[in-house]
Structure 1
Amino acid sequence: MNFHQATPIQEMAIPKILKGSDLLACAQTGTGKTGAYLIPILDRVPDYPKGQISTLILVPTRELAQQIDEQVQGLGYYVDATSIAIYGGNKGPEWEQQKKALTQGADVIIATPGRLIAHLQLGYVKFDQLKTLILDEADRMLDMGFIGDIMNILKHLPAQRQTLLFSATMPPKIRDLARRIMHQPEEINLAVSKPAEGIDQQFYLAGDAQKVPLLIHLMQSVENPSMVLFTSRKSEVNVIVRALKKMKWDARGISSDSEQGERETILRDFKNRAFPILVATDVLSRGIDIDNLSHVVNFDVPRDPEDYVHRIGRTARAAAKGTAITFINDQDQHRVVRIERLLEKELEKRSITEGLGLGPAPLWDPKKDRGNKKKTTAPQTSSSAEKPKRFFNKKKKTGPAKTQG
């Protein structure tokens, strides 16, 4: 596959995994974590009997499961490794295909916890010959509430196994989980706080109603963009897509509420450059490898500083260049301060909306008490604050309507 040099996480992890140690590894997304555990695991596949599940990989999202499955097929081609991704959806042909793989024994199973639990409850899944358990993006799985499912799955696994836990961050709850499921793990900790040097980080002060027209202005001079726009609220995905389409930009959205087939089609078309803007929740901020993104946009500031690093890490991968645009409204300013602490530097905040005829931008004042902001800055008409879909009012020359969108 034209891999010539190990990344730092691969160089440190592969010998420990080959030695058979349990491993707790913390490394930023985009640093080669998947190869760090797949390469040594696949190296062992010819030593195990066929028809038995030797490796189980648990992941938080179906997109990551699919991507790892593809990498198993590529990396494991010459060791005759079989694999399948087990993730949610209707109990149709995919369910039967998953059941067949689980009963006949694929070498590597990559699964989201909820879907695997559904199969386990029917009694036909046997993990008695399992050699290795891998939890990838473990911190994200805990954030998504999978701890109960993970502990349930562990009851079906042999006590004598190698356990590898890979995480992009190392909060206390990850160490607590490691103590519960691992045996004297070795540890690897690589810095997670620094975005790639090739990312041009741009921050703009903007009210919610100003964000779409400001984005259109910023993108006017960009040729052939390929952009992922992140929002923290899945309810906003379709709202933003409609607003962009009204401004003659081709955009599509993806969130955890999207149907399985629709998500797969949209993600495939975006990777193939069928449309320029993908609007997504944090379901895409971790682990998903999309080549040659020109821009990442934070429509709102991520709740956690580490998530900012993961979001903008979708661009400027593998030493490439990229641009990360972040919009800051009044309520998100304290989150920017936390990002600055993590990055250990002050970030430039630009205020350009008034010069564009979009009205004044929010003032940068992160120490201001915004607890009663809705009462003190209520719009003049009672209806405007109740229309989150109304990002931009072309009829008004005094600026965009105040919204929650």
Structure 2
Amino acid sequence: MGYKQATPIQAQAIPHILESKDLIACAQTGTGKTAAFLVPTLSKIAEAKFDFTSTLILVPTRELAKQIDDQVEGLSYFTGATSIAIYGGNNAQNWDQQKHALTSGADIIIATPGRLIAHMQMGYVKLDQLKYLILDEADKMLDMGFMDDLMKIINQLPKERQTLLFSATMPPKIREFARKILQQPEEISLSISKPAANIDQQIYLVYDQQKLKLLQHILKDAEVQTMILFTSRKSAVNEIVRALQKMGFEAEGISSDRTQDEREATLQKFRNKQLQVLVATDVMSRGIDVDNISHVVNFDVPQDAEDYVHRIGRTARAGTKGMAITFVNERDQERLVKIEKLIERELPKLTLPEAVGESPAYDPVGNRSKFSRDKGGRGGSRSGGGPRREGSTGGSGDRNRSQKPRGERPAAAAPAGERPSQANQATGTPTSATGEVKKKKRRKKPFRPKNTEGGTSSAPATPAAE
């Protein structure tokens, strides 16, 4: 697999895992966390020769589930260990394949919480002998509203097990969650919320109408090999892709609106260097490992400062160099201040090329007051009153825990006829599904909090599997 020397997180985590201790580990993205838990766990599976499902790995997104499954396949080549990725967004045939793997007892299950619960509700998932529970990108799962689903799954697992929690950040809610599910854990913390030192971070202050012209200038003048461009609004993905294609660049987009097959095909083309630019929402910001990404562009500033760290962590991986460029409009200047506070450094604000025009003044305090007045005290988090931003958490604190991502419901995961008692859930409507309820939902829609990958959220329901 090309591993020659353990990274710091691997060197510290592997001994604890081999000693069967619970572990809470925090390290920045791109530091080798996946191998840190896979290598020792596969070693234990190979020695024990279990004839049942011994390991459950829970992750927030489909892409991460698929990537970990691929790594298991490579690392377990000589162990005979079997694995299956369980996630939504596929057809009835995939459901049947997942059901077969769950009933036949694959050694390792890698799953998104919503999809796993859909299978568990069918009654054939047997995890009563589970030995190892691993939660990867735990902070992202909690941000996406998966707390209830996680606890529902964990409460059905054996109390006597080894639990490993890996996270890129360590906010208080993660520590509280860890206290509930881990027993006397060892703790590892490495470079929390700090981008890699070899990322050249640059800021451009721009008006929204200047962004595409500036992007064209960067693509023509910089030595861009491969670039991921992040936008917080999934509605903007296709617009940006079309604009790039008109400029003559090979570009495609990934968002929750595309099918899983389409997303995987686009990602594979990007890995094969058939695309110069991949336009993505924050579905691509966590755990996705693509080699030799030379540039990351933030077309807008993410709502959460920690998401900035995850986005730009797609470049300069494994000790290489990379460049991260962020476009900051007037409304987003306050968010930039929070990012600089988090990473404990001021980022250089570059002068716009003459052909692009004049930059707006850098005045975070004044702009905050200005846009708060414009929105009647609601702040100015959206550019130009556009669509809600995909990937936003809709605020902080306790409100986050109640927000549920819209999208796949557990009932929608099963083929027609398998779950007639929950048919209404497949459409995302309340159980009563009356016309009056639908009208009420339409009237409330503009006032729903912003949500993570998957758009706005409806009334509290089981979170969807990415």
TM-score scaled to structure 1, two decimals?
Answer: 0.90
* In 1, Cα distance between equivalents of 2:250 and 2:80: 41
Structure 1 residues 164 and 86 mapped into 2: Cα distance closer, same or farther (>3 Å)?
A: same
For structure 1, the 5+ residue unaligned runs are 377-384, 389-405
Which shows bigger deviation, 273-282 or 195-204?
Answer: 195-204
Residue in 2 that maps onto 1:333: 333
| Residue 44 in structure 1 maps to residue 44 in structure 2 | yes
Match of 2:249 in 1: 249
Does the 8 Å contact 2:296/2:325 carry over to 1? Answer: yes
Corresponding residue SS for 1:239: helix
Query: What code does the residue aligned with 2:118 have?
Result: A
Report deviation, 1:302: 1.6
Give 3-state SS (helix, strand or coil) of 2:221's partner: coil
| Contact 1:201-1:325 at 8 Å conserved across structures | yes
Shift in Å at residue 307 of structure 1?
A: 1.4
Distance 1:386 1:124, change over 3 A: closer
Could you tell me which residue of structure 2 aligns to residue 402 of structure 1?
none
Give SS of 1:78's match: coil
* 2:112 alignment counterpart: 112
Counterpart-to-counterpart distance in 1, 2:21 and 2:50: 24
Q: What does residue 208 of structure 2 align with?
A: 208
Corresponding residue of 2:301: 301
Residue of structure 1 aligned with 2:360, choices 359, 362, 381? 362
Structure 1 residue 374 displacement after superposition: 9.2
Residue identity matched to 1:53: T
* Whole-angstrom distance in 2 between the partners of 1:19 and 1:365: 53
Where has structure 1 moved over 3 Å in runs of 4 or more? 47-51, 369-376, 385-388
**Match of 1:258?**
258
Q: Deviations over 1:307-361 (max 9, x none)?
A: 11111111111111111110010011111111211222221112315x21x4422
SS at match of 1:145: coil
Task: Tell me the secondary structure at the aligned position of residue 152 of structure 1.
Answer: helix
**Counterpart residue identity of residue 87, structure 1:** Y
* Overall identity of the aligned pairs, in %: 63
- Segment of structure 1 superposing worse, 216-225 or 201-210: 216-225
- Deviation per CA, 1:250-309: give whole Å up to 9, x if none: 211111222111111111111111111101111111111000001000011122222111
Would you say 1:291 and 2:291 are equivalent positions?
Answer: yes
- Tell me, in whole angstroms, the C-alpha distance in 1 between the residues paired with 2:159 and 2:385: 55
Greater mean alpha carbon deviation, residues 246-255 or residues 171-180: 246-255
Correspondence list, 1:1-400, <5 A: 1-223=1-223, 225-352=225-352, 355-356=354-355, 358-373=356-371
Change (3 A) 1:45 1:233: same
- The alpha-carbon deviation at position 246 of structure 1 amounts to 2.4
CA gap of 1:194–1:90, structure 2 versus 1, over 3 A, is closer
State how far apart, in whole Å, the 2-side matches of 1:375 and 1:120 are.
49
**DSSP 3-state at the match of 2:21:** coil
Deviates more, 1:243-252 or 1:112-121: 243-252
TM-superposed deviation, 1:49: 4.2
Residues of 2 paired with 1:289 and 1:161: CA distance? 29
Match of 1:401 in 2: none
Conserved 8 A contact 2:28-2:195: no
Question: What is the root-mean-square deviation of aligned Cα atoms in Å?
Answer: 1.8
Verify the 8 A CA contact 2:9 2:27 in the aligned structure 1: yes
Compute the displacement of 1:90 (Å). 3.5
Partners of 1:192 and 1:212 lie apart in 2 by 33
Does the 8 Å CA contact 2:330/2:367 hold for their aligned counterparts? no
Following the alignment from structure 2 to structure 1, what is the Cα–Cα distance between the partners of residues 287 and 240? 24
Question: How high is the TM-score relative to the length of structure 2?
Answer: 0.78
- Contact 1:138–1:166 at 8 Å: present in 2 too? yes
For residues 60-107 of structure 1, the C-alpha deviation after alignment (integer angstroms, 9 at most, x for no partner) is 011111111111111111111111111102342111111111000111
Separation in structure 2 between the aligned mates of residue 113 and residue 221 of structure 1, nearest angstrom: 44
Give unmatched runs, 5+ long, in structure 2: 375-383, 388-466
Q: In the alignment, residue 46 of structure 1 is paired with which amino acid? A: A
Equivalent AA in structure 1 for residue 116 of structure 2: L
Q: Structure 1 counterpart of 2:342, which letter?
A: L
How many equivalent residue pairs? 379
What letter matches 2:207 in structure 1? G
- Report the equivalent of 2:433: none
